[in-house]
Structure 1
Amino acid sequence: MLARIACILVSNGLVWKHQRHFGIGALRKLGMRNKGMERGIQTEARYLVEFFRSKDGRAVDPSFPIVHAVSNVICAVVFGHRFSLEDETFCQLIEAFSCMVAFANSYFHYVCELLPWVAELLPGPQLKASYSCEFIRSFIRQEIKTHRERGKIGEPEDFIDLYLDQIEKTKNIPNSTYDEDNMVQSVFDLFLGGSETTATTLRWALLYMMAYPDVQEKVQKELDAVLSPSHLVCYEDRKRLPYTNAVIHEILRFGSIVLITIPRQAVKDTTVLGYGLPKGTLIMANIDSTLFDPEYWETPHQFNPGHFLDKDGNFVTREAFLAFSAGHRVCLGEVLAKMELFIIFCSLLKAFKFTPPEGVKEVNTEVIFGGTMKPHPYKLCAVPR
């Protein structure tokens, strides 16, 4: 089902080229590489810190506040505004996305993809996911309508404004792929791709900090040594925080939340490792195999930030680090995701020590298998430092 509604993620040909090119340009114009985007992330990090502080160290499930914070970053980019934690419509939007993702992660979804007749016998789960999808699309169309009525053509403030401008500029061009349907799907893709994966990675990040308290302590020692208590974390700080940067990259590697890439298609007859692939062959790359390859990683099945540090403690990149895929279809929001992970992770670790609730003897780091590899539901205590 998800494959049939994605525009940037799984389309190909002219539609993919146009929509991806526009998406990259729009994100750059909106500040993906400058202070504008960073300020939005810092705002959400602050709200997240305030949420945990309000719990006074009591055990809490971090899932919803994390999803709320990450989703609001995308909302600011796409819609031009954020939503409060109490906003009922926004809560319904997040719930709808969660329902869709849960269906996509379920074994039932994979069975339906292989045996479509199963969905006809047991339509309930697929119908629920379809209703969620339609709710999201209706929400996006309402936002587009509001933007049209606001009349910001020529003065774009967000992704929808930029797309409406693009529709106007290309309305007389034959074969233009810029229309409202593709805009809805592009917004859908940005929201799905920009919230689900980053939120899941942050959930793994806090879980690993509880599971590896020695790592958490080293991160906090580095943060304390480099950043003043009043310092507002910015992405540029990563250059002064090599160990913390290495920990974040190791979370991405070890968490490996997407095992297999979105399907690709061979555009011509080719040969890979001696195997002939005719033009049109669907290809699904196993990213997980590179992230755990013993030829490239010293201790692939251990959580080891040293994978991203040289002998002098400097941060180093690794050729086999393909957490965001590679090639022309590398993740559109890689830079945004890295900014979010760094700023939110550092802001939280500056403010709190994360510990398991009283009575929890062992942290469960096993995965729930699906389209994205999620941790089992858990609670934590955010103890103010």
Structure 2
Amino acid sequence: MPPNVTDTQPKVEELEYNLEDLDLKKLVREKGFYGVHPEIYYPPLKPYEHKDPGHLADPKLDSLLKNAEKVFDVTPHIGTEIHGIQLNNLTDQQKNDLALLVARRGVVFFRDQTITPKQSLELGRYFGPLHIHNVGTVPPAKDAQEILTIQIDPDNKAYLQRFADRTPADGWHSDVSHELQPSSLAFLKIDTLPPVGGDTLWASAYEAYDRLSPAWQKFIEGLEAVHSGDVHRETARVTGYPLRREAPDNVHPVVRVHPVTGWKALNVQRNFTRRIVGFTRRESDAVLNFLYNHIETGIDFQVRFRWTEDAIAVWDNRVTFHAAVPDYRGLGNGGIRHGYRVTPTGERPYYDPNGKSRRQALAEEQAAATK
């Protein structure tokens, strides 16, 4: 366990760059794997009141949609792509509207983005306090600990072996759901790609809930499950990376309601959810394995994004699951997949019996619009 200290001064030799001048795309192409795991320890996270910018959005989303060159839905249930807007130039109203659009569509894609790491941090903070990953890789720069580097260290054999017996389907998750107040949105920029492959999948937690039978919906509503930080604790133990903050276990509802849309979403996934409170182990495993398989095989409520250099995905972790597709590894084609993530946190997950399913809410909206 990390020492209980608040001194967050890193080793100087590990953080040799300044955030202002940080160019991670250039850095990875010059040095290959550059990430560090400085021994910086942080106190436990404290609860706070989250105010979602989506509450300030224009329901018509005009500030975004009318200023874009092209907007289209990638699939019926999840994923929208917007062209002609730079995320580093958003107005506050556009940020509010983006929060609502992502809450409704799950994930929104932008290509050819010029945003810098420093600007990404500034953008992310608009949506909530930024999460510092408990054990993840960070850039070698001062004031950049809220940036999570997305790249596998090829020299850390222990890390690679840690996941060698897993399949890509085991990777479905919502970011840091073990925290008391997990991630709300996430901003992921991919700037370097292998010649082919390296896509990412997202699944709609709204539609995952809606596709369950009424009997299943009634059965799981009101249940709670333990979300565990054991994957981070074990990664630190096996790899030798410092555990920079405790990786706690927390109890969250199996069905949660989004604070802006009011829609119900399934809130379990294989990476962090461990057991249902009050169930025996066999009962819990039976229910969770059914729900995991339901998510992972729901190909009609998933979207697969083929990255291009400098594309950004913005998703709502409260109503989506995602999984990387590591199909490019081990092919000997010299491919590198690199990027970075900025992760605002949100409210503590909650269940509201007055929430609606997405399908119910959209049907009511359509009926009201035709009157």
**Shorter-chain TM-score above 0.5:** no
TM-score, length basis structure 1: 0.29
| Structure with more helix by fraction | 1
Larger Rg computed on CA atoms: 1
